[in-house]
Amino acid sequence: MTGNIGDLLFFNRTIDEYNTIGRLLAALLAGGIIGFQREQSNQPAGLRTHMLITVGSALMMMLSVYLPQNFDYLKNGDPGRIAAQVVSGIGFLGAGAIIRFGSSIKGLTTAATIWTTAGIGLAIGAGMIGEALIAVLIVFFILSGVEILEQRYFSRRIIKTIIIDTDNGLQSLDSLCSFIKTYNINIIDRNFSINYCNQTATITLMVRTSRKSLTHLLADEITQIGGVRAIKIDDLK
């Protein structure tokens, strides 16, 4: 073992048994920071998902560098080929986080975060640890700080899904929609499904509102309506 820790973990662009460990740990930390924020926001891709993405991306990038570095017959190979497949392949994972709801979609922010997190992992695998950690801070600010600005200055753009379980089926749909509109809430789209075995139904509404207190206020009122069994309100991100 030669050189100081900084050389091994940050400035040495070659791949050896020492800096691989450091880069994997750095990737774990980076994914953990972003994943923690996503977990706090109750997003489907949370802590474990983002940790796995950064560690996996860093590992693929290190493999891309390691092969031409250690095998003579691959010395003229392109070290970016494996990494390039990560960039395109991660798109499939991001697509899985996107849900279409009527004419709108949910999960674009989560998909973009997954794609960016993979890029951070690749940067760490290439030895750009300092730059990658700066990118982590920028991503964290976008997900947390910018969201606060959006809620304060663009509150009219808040879009939520309301999922209501009811036991009196189709008769509840029109009455619920009429009640929700009394709060000056715009219903963008609605979906209705019924279970004929037990005569229950699930009503899913996508709404746009400027009311920051929508979640608790509206939920409490709707639960007082006859036939409503349960209600869940989520942000569309």
pLDDT of residue 172: 58
- The token pair at 102 is 């009527």
d(CA 212, CA 225): 22
Strand, helix or coil for residue 215: helix
Write the pLDDT tens digit of every residue in 92-147: 777 766 655 444 566 778 888 899 999 999 999 888 888 899 999 999 999 888 87
CA gap 204, 196 in Å, rounded:
17
What pLDDT, in 10s, does the model give residues 221-231?
A: 777 776 777 78
What residues make up the domain containing 140? 5-153
Specify whether 166 is located in the same domain as 148: no
At a CB cut-off of 8 Å and minimum separation 6, what does 134 contact?
none
The pLDDT tens digits for 4-49 are 555 444 555 667 777 888 899 999 999 999 999 888 877 777 889 8
Identify which has the larger pLDDT, 211 or 182: 182
User: Do 19 and 96 lie in a common domain?
Assistant: yes
108 and 127, same domain (yes or no): yes
In this structure, the answer to whether residues 55 and 94 fall within a common structural domain is yes
Rounded to an integer, what distance in angstroms lies between the CA atom of residue 83 and that of residue 126? 10
Q: Which one of 135, 153, 171 terminates a domain?
A: 153
220 pLDDT band, cuts 50/70/90, is confident
pLDDT for residue 64 is more than 90 = no
> CB neighbours (10 Å) of residue 142?
15
Residues 51 and 118 in one domain: yes
SS3 234: strand
Q: What is the average pLDDT score of the chain? A: 76
The amino acid sitting at 195 is: N
> In what helix (H) or strand (E) does residue 108 lie, and over which residues does it extend?
helix 108-125
Shared domain for 172 and 161, answered yes or no, is yes
For 192, phi and psi rounded to 5 degrees? -135, 130
Asked if 171 and 119 count as a contact pair (C-beta separation under 8 A), the reply is no
- 235: nearest Cα among 22, 4, 16, 44: 44
User: Domain tally for the chain?
Assistant: 2
Last residue of a domain, one of 120, 153, 186: 153
Whole-angstrom Cα distance, residue 163 to residue 204?
5
SS3 199: coil
Residues 28 and 140 in one domain: yes
- Write out the H or E segment, with its range, that includes residue 201: strand 200-209
